[in-house]
Chains A and B, each alone.
Chain A
Amino acid sequence: MFQLDVKSRKSIYEQIVDNCKELIIAGVLAPNDKLPSVRELSAMLTVNPNTIQKAYRELEQSGWIYTVSGLGCFVSESRHAPDPLQIRALLDKIEPLVRELLFLGVPAESIRQALDKMIRKGGGSR
């Protein structure tokens, strides 16, 4: 379920963090599901266990997962207040795409509609 791209410029640590988030967002990992243990994942991906430990720690700090000592890591029920820096970084990722669409002559209204549709699909309230 985890895929690493060794050619990516993203570090392995980041790839594991992002991979976990994607699986949780997509619902593949449901709340209270157990994540593979550091040992399992390290053997599965042939990755340094310290790197996986670090990625799990990062996910725990940002509230995506929780640890039960002796049992392992589990997906959190609800997220903590999201980090404003993280939100900023994600919004920054949209900007160049919007700019490219505008450059290609896509009318602002169509972009707005497309975004609205995505928000509805993602289960957003507004």
Chain B
Amino acid sequence: MIQVTELSKCFDGFSALSGLNVHVETGSIYGLIGVNGSGKTTLIKHLTGVYMPDAGQVTFDGEDIYENTVLKERLGYIPDDLYFFNSYSIRDMASFYRKIYPAWNEQRYRDMLREFGLPAVRKISKFSKGMQKQAAFILVMSTMPDYLILDEPIDGLDPLIRKRVWRYVVSDVAERQMTVLVSSHNLREMEGICDSIGILSEGRMMIERDLEELKTDIHKIQVAFKEEKERPLSNLNILHREKRGSVELLIVRNAGNLVKSELEKEDPAILDMLPLSLEEIFIYEMGGENSEIQSILF
């Protein structure tokens, strides 16, 4: 389990993270999302023990990560900006990794190299960006990490490669209870792969929940009534309400059953309930008061 407690970090008086709490269960795939500049990469640099916290704690199964080389041997990390040694090939990198990571799996390295079809002896710097990303993935997955941290892992990869990458991730979660934290802006992809979601905003955790619960809790409703009259619907937690002709559009944060029974009391002519997609939840939560964003969405 990865646990971040009351983490704060300042850069030259700018508070990047303030009192941040994060919980990633063992064997889960945790999606970290947030607008640009919300502190995702700063958090990740704390999780990988690169930054020292100003205040608070970052622990993996109870152990502090900062300056903890034993723990870091079990941690796999693919940063957004990849780094390879100058003029190194994948084979050179592999022999370096083999010395650093005790759990290095030679069989997997060979299998992956074959499956991804990358040349082992060419300089990685001559690779395309997408190929470099694949090279990083092959190397990291061959270290058999217990914790895997991915910063924008799938950007620039084609759909086939993405599928292949995710297949490795899910099978390691299924077979070895690997714990994964992944940050991305590709919410549709995250929705398919993650089981929990954390939404960061201005260095704080806005929402951290099981994805399924998050989605069953908030609904988009189209409703039309036979007769016109004021309906306060005061038992419901209405986040957004809008009239389009005779149809009303509601965004409600309540359990589905309650929403349904409350609205049926009013004898609606039409009642359609839709779950929101993660993308919609994100934009709604982040857009907040900004009605312009909301009108695009709903």
Contact = CB atoms under 8 A, between A and B. Distances in A.
Contact of A48 (B175, B188, B194, B215): B194
Interface of A: 6, 9-13, 38-39, 42-43, 46-51, 54, 85
B255 interface: no
Given A50-B173, A50-B195, A85-B257, 17 more contacts: A6-B192, A9-B275, A10-B275, A12-B191, A39-B171, A39-B175, A42-B170, A43-B167, A43-B170, A46-B170, A46-B192, A47-B192, A48-B29, A48-B193, A48-B195, A50-B27, A51-B195
B207 interface: no
B170 A47 contact: yes
Closest 4 CB pairs of A and B: A49-B174, A39-B174, A50-B195, A46-B166
B240 interface: no
Interface in B254-293: 257, 274-275, 277
Nearest to B195: A50
Contact of B173 (A9, A11, A49, A54): A49
B18 to A, nearest CB: 30
Nearest to B163: A46
Contacts of B193: 46-48
A95 to B, nearest CB: 11
A86 B195 CA distance: 25
A24 to B, nearest CB: 22
Contacts of A43: 167, 170-171, 174
Interface range on chain B (Cβ under 8 Å from partner): 20 to 34
Nearest to A7: B188
B42 interface: no
A19 B215 CA distance: 20
Contacts of B277: 9
Contacts of B132: none
Nearest to B260: A92
B41 interface: no
B212 interface: yes
Nearest to A12: B192
B215 A42 contact: no
Contact of B212 (A6, A13, A39, A47): A13
A59 to B, nearest CB: 15
B275 A49 contact: no
Contacts of A6: 188, 192
B171 A42 contact: yes
A48 B177 CA distance: 11
A11 B174 contact: no
Given A43-B170, A48-B29, A48-B173, A54 B192 contact: no
B167 A46 contact: yes
A9 to B, nearest CB: 6
A11 B170 contact: no
25 contacts: A6-B192, A9-B274, A9-B275, A10-B275, A11-B212, A38-B174, A39-B171, A39-B174, A39-B175, A42-B171, A43-B167, A43-B170, A43-B171, A46-B166, A46-B170, A46-B192, A48-B29, A48-B170, A48-B192, A48-B194, A48-B195, A49-B173, A49-B174, A50-B28, A85-B257
